[in-house]
Amino acid sequence: MQKLLTLLLSWIALSSWQPSGKIYFQNPSFEGTPDTGKSPKGWYAGHLGSTPDILPGAWEIMSPAAQDGSTYVGLIVREDGTREDIRQSMSEPLSAGQCYAFSMYLAHAPKYVGYNKPTRLRIWGSAEKGGPSQLLASSPLIDHTDWRVYKFELSPTSTIKHLIFEADFAPGVVFKYRGNLLLDNCSVLEKCVRA
């Protein structure tokens, strides 16, 4: 009788279990040892020439202090039109037709070894590592030197297994330039709450 009762209670608990609907980033605050051309644990650079920096400390960049934890990531854009990005394989895929919300903190470093102009963040999603990407969101131009939180809603049109955070030039620019973007403290991704 005891075994039957335990089995019945276990079955009830399992049948009522629902996934949390939350997707967590690995190392959401980009913690690592400050260095140039390195990605923090859990993140990777997407292509040759994409060399994220773990800050502060690298390139003699000492401010701002990290918004969360000890370190954050710096990405640059170059006058030849190239951009840096940092990517992560998600713990579970983002489903097509579903909306996901999350936030992160962004800032701009006024002096970043000559890459001093403001940039913006573009968020891409991909089904395969290195595969074709779809643009999911974009920030306004980040020209402030203090950390500010930005909220994003992502609505993929196909299944997404990898998220890509890319520095990008100001909207509408004709001439490419040298600029930077600082990223820290990603929240969890949750399904959008709609009214």
Beta bridge partner(s), residue 151: 103
The token pair at 5 is 């009762």
Distance CA 128, CA 133 (A): 9
Show pLDDT as tens, one digit a residue, over the chain (195 residues): 455 444 434 433 333 333 468 999 999 999 999 999 999 999 999 877 889 999 999 998 999 999 999 999 999 999 999 999 999 999 999 999 999 999 999 999 999 999 999 999 999 999 988 777 899 999 999 999 999 999 999 999 999 999 999 999 999 998 999 999 999 999 999 999 865
Which domains, ranges and CATH numbers included, belong to the chain?
A: 20-191 (2.60.120.260)
111, 96 contact by CB (below 8 A)? no
Beta-carbon contacts of 106 under 8 Å, excluding residues fewer than 6 positions away, are 121, 139, 142, 147, 148, 150, 181, 182, 183, 184
pTM: 0.87
